């Protein structure tokens, strides 16, 4: 168990971006990517958004949300939100790193914060925000059983595609659809930790994962910035 964690920790620290993107002039949000070792394998904890939420009800996501004035940084935001949503105490998370951010459909700069939690963690979902909590083997995001791509228009108007995974959870006897930015972060996390080629196409140069992920992000940010300028 130690060695799985150790090697994951070493890989992740190589990809830590710290506050490199924190100064970009976009509203901030963070998500926590909670990793645990279960039955000798890395697993990722995910939540299902409550059906009463205005935005994206019933969708799978990571614990997280918008940054608030009390938060020192992106890590604070992710830990505070995880406590509010699933009852995960901040001191029970071993924070490892921040990965390259993404931009959501509301044009928030979303920073993924990766941390280890105990496999004994029992989530207490806040029913106002979360209807379900489940775990997926991290390897599913490089070797899925049920995968497709969905076309979508980016905020700058050009057509792209996004990952979409269907995961059959035997514990819950249900299938979860994991897509969009959540799937994007899960795939990147799996690529970083396992360092192997997935069974589907990704838009990274896998031999230069660090630089290509940062370049992809900066291109996305630049296209958003261009569109904002042209709308003025």
Question: pLDDT tens string for the chain (232 positions)?
Answer: 569 999 999 999 999 999 999 999 999 999 999 999 999 999 999 999 887 877 777 899 999 999 999 999 999 999 999 999 999 999 999 999 999 999 998 899 999 999 999 999 999 999 999 999 999 999 999 999 999 999 887 666 677 889 999 999 998 899 999 999 999 999 999 999 999 999 999 999 999 999 999 999 999 999 887 766 666 5
Per-residue pLDDT at 226: 75
Look up the pTM and report it.
0.95
Per-residue pLDDT at 147: 97
Cβ–Cβ under 8 Å, residues 55 and 81 = no
Cβ–Cβ under 8 Å, residues 191 and 203 = no
In angstroms, the CA 54 to CA 97 distance is 30
Cβ–Cβ under 8 Å, residues 142 and 41 = no
Name residues whose C-beta falls within 8 Å of residue 228's C-beta, 6 or more positions apart in sequence.
none
- Residue 151 forms beta bridges with which residues? 161
Cβ–Cβ under 8 Å, residues 36 and 116 = yes
In angstroms, the CA 172 to CA 192 distance is 28
Q: What is the maximum alpha-carbon separation in the chain?
A: 54
Give the residue extent of every domain in the chain.
4-231
Q: Where are the alpha helices (DSSP H) in the chain?
A: 2-14, 74-86, 180-194, 209-231
Q: Give the HSE-up count for residue 156: Cα atoms under 13 Å, Cβ half-sphere.
A: 15
Compute CA distances 180 → 157, 185, 226, whole Å: 16, 9, 23
Q: From 30, 31, 63, select the one nearest 135 (Cα to Cα).
A: 63
Q: From 99, 201, 84, select the one nearest 148 (Cα to Cα).
A: 201
In angstroms, the CA 11 to CA 56 distance is 32
In angstroms, the CA 2 to CA 15 distance is 20
In angstroms, the CA 129 to CA 52 distance is 8
> Which architecture does CATH list for 4-231?
Alpha-Beta Complex (3.90)
């Amino acid at each position: 168990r130690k060695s799985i964690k150790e090697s994951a920790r070493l890989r992740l620290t190589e990809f830590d971006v710290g506050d490199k993107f924190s100064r970009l002039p976009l509203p901030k949000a963070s998500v926590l990517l909670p990793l645990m070792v279960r039955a000798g394998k890395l697993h990722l904890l995910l939540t299902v958004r409550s059906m009463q939420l205005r935005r994206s009800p019933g969708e799978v996501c990571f614990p997280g949300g918008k940054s608030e004035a009390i938060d020192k940084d992106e890590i604070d935001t992710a830990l505070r939100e995880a406590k509010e949503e699933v009852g995960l105490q901040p001191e029970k998370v071993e924070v490892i790193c921040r990965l390259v951010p993404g931009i959501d459909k509301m044009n928030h700069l979303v920073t993924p914060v990766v941390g280890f939690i105990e496999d004994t963690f029992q989530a207490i979902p806040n029913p106002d925000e979360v209807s379900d909590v489940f775990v997926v083997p991290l390897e599913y995001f490089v070797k899925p059983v049920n995968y497709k791509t969905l076309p979508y228009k980016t905020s700058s108007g050009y057509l792209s595609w996004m990952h979409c995974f269907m995961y059959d959870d035997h514990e819950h006897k249900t299938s979860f659809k994991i897509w969009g930015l959540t799937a994007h972060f899960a795939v990147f996390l799996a690529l970083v930790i396992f360092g192997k080629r997935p069974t589907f196409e990704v838009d990274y140069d896998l031999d230069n994962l660090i630089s290509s992920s940062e370049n992809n992000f900066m291109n996305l940010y630049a296209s958003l910035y261009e569109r904002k300028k042209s709308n003025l």
